[in-house]
Amino acid sequence: MIKQQSVVRKNNIKKYNILLCFIIILVITVVTITMSSYIEKKYEWAADICAPREYPVEVYTGAAGGYFFSQMGGFSNSGWGGLGSIDYIKAPVPDRLDMTWLSYVDNKFYKGDWKLPTEKIKELFDEGFPARPGLENVKEPYDYINIGLGPKGMVVVWVAGAGSQVEVARFQAHETVVDPKLIIESEMYMFRKGYSQHRLENNFVISEDVREQIKQYGCPQSEAYEAYREKYLWKPKVILPEGCKITSMYVKMCNGEKEDPYDKPIDMKYRAIPYAFQIYWSITSGKKERRFVSRIAFTNDKEYWAKYLKPMGQDEIPVDFDKNEIRMLYKEHLDKNKSAEMVIKIDPTKQEDDKWVVDFYVEQEGKKYNLNQNCQDSGKLN
């Protein structure tokens, strides 16, 4: 009898120990999961500001999370959606953006403090986007936060990577007057009378080329940059000679977004109106691959690509883009919610390199709309 009781007691102790171990493991697991949720994931990322070439700005102070800006190096005229310097930090995704800056054209300071869409930014950082051909199972990272400071206090935030840029937020800043008590000696220059006008007369701030275009075509109205954000249901369709294939197609939209699916088909989806295409294509003969490029920009400036191909050249939104026929076409003739194809037919047998694009039109529901106001450049790469 005593022996049976001893056996029962031992079994009970064994069961108790097993239960206790299970509870301890469960508690440790719950604590680990809870602790993990509080430890923010860190990413390698950089941030910078951009502004339209005809609406340059200078940052007074600002921050995107742990990334800080000041008047030291805070000047920008890199173009709407253009990328600037890259200085990476390892930190969590920023949750707030605050910025105070001077608009030279408006001759006013603007200020704002906003909550950033962190979940959307994290999703892009985590997912990335398809890499170039030959790296089918590899993703390129989004690792850049681009902050656009537009006219009249307009703010747009993009997340970018090499060849891709996506808008994630749009904010509105308000006019402000900086408290003189907060201005230190090294910042006084920004508050001198006539400073904005003096900067606007500097060719480094607004280039001679941009001045000439403004004189010829007029300056885009500040409202144009808001209108550029409107999206339509469309995709490009490139027709090449038999045996040729696309290796890369870089599409730049007027809202600052960019995409390059490389050799993959481009889906039909809502996009802003494009202002430039760079189409890389090739043909293989035996073991030799011949490579070509065809570039198109919506502008009446016939020197657009010649200037871009110079050292330090940039294919930014043309100054006259707001008056281009493609904008009128999308605004007045196309249904933004019905699918449209932008057809680009290329014929490399043409002698002149600005005549290779032989057919260029938008087609929607059987109707064709020719696109004639453009600058094109094509040629061999090898």
| String of DSSP letters for 158-190 | EEEETTEEEEEEEEE-EEE---GGG--GGGGGG
> Residue 34 — pLDDT band, cuts 50, 70, 90?
very low
Confidence (pLDDT) at 33: 47
Residue 36 in this model has a pLDDT that exceeds 60 = no
> Residue 246 — pLDDT band, cuts 50, 70, 90?
very high
Same-domain check for residues 168 and 276: no
Confidence (pLDDT) at 268: 97
How many distinct structural domains can be found in the chain? 3
Between the alpha carbon of residue 248 and those of residues 62, 95, 281, 362, the distances in Å are 37, 34, 7, 21
Contact between 83 and 143 (Cβ < 8 Å) = no
- pLDDT tens track for 319-330: 999 999 999 999
Same-domain check for residues 310 and 364: yes
Residue 242 in this model has a pLDDT that exceeds 60 = yes
- pLDDT tens track for 194-225: 999 999 999 999 999 999 999 999 999 999 99
Same-domain check for residues 97 and 152: yes
Q: How far apart are CA 89 and CA 333, in angstroms?
A: 47
Confidence (pLDDT) at 20: 62
Residue 71 in this model has a pLDDT that exceeds 80 = no
Confidence (pLDDT) at 309: 79
Lowest-confidence segment of 49-58, 74-83, 94-103, 240-249 by average pLDDT: 74-83
Which structural domain range is residue 299 located in?
222-380
> Residue 331 — pLDDT band, cuts 50, 70, 90?
very high
Q: How far apart are CA 114 and CA 64, in angstroms?
A: 10
- pLDDT tens track for 346-368: 999 888 888 999 999 999 999 99
Residue 308 in this model has a pLDDT that exceeds 80 = yes
Confidence (pLDDT) at 354: 87
Same-domain check for residues 235 and 110: no
Q: What is the mean pLDDT of residues 123-134?
A: 85
Residue 136 in this model has a pLDDT that exceeds 80 = no
Same-domain check for residues 266 and 280: yes
Tell me whether residue 135 is in a domain.
yes
Q: Which of 11-25, 73-87, 277-291, 336-350 has the highest mean pLDDT?
A: 336-350
Q: What is the mean pLDDT of residues 281-292?
A: 89
Same-domain check for residues 290 and 141: no
Tell me whether residue 212 is in a domain.
no
Element (H, E) at 340: strand 340-346
Contact between 103 and 67 (Cβ < 8 Å) = no
Quote the pTM value. 0.86
Confidence (pLDDT) at 31: 46
Q: What is the mean pLDDT of residues 68-86?
A: 77
Tell me whether residue 208 is in a domain.
no
Q: Indicate the average pLDDT of the chain.
A: 88
Confidence (pLDDT) at 368: 97
Tell me whether residue 213 is in a domain.
no
Tell me whether residue 13 is in a domain.
yes
Same-domain check for residues 118 and 63: yes
Same-domain check for residues 5 and 52: no
Same-domain check for residues 152 and 241: no
Q: Which of 6-15, 185-194, 366-375 has the highest mean pLDDT?
A: 366-375
Tell me whether residue 181 is in a domain.
yes
Same-domain check for residues 258 and 324: yes
Same-domain check for residues 178 and 136: yes
Residue 169 in this model has a pLDDT that exceeds 90 = yes
> Residue 76 — pLDDT band, cuts 50, 70, 90?
confident
Cα dihedral: 131, 129, 36, 23 (round 10): -80
Residue 7 in this model has a pLDDT that exceeds 70 = no
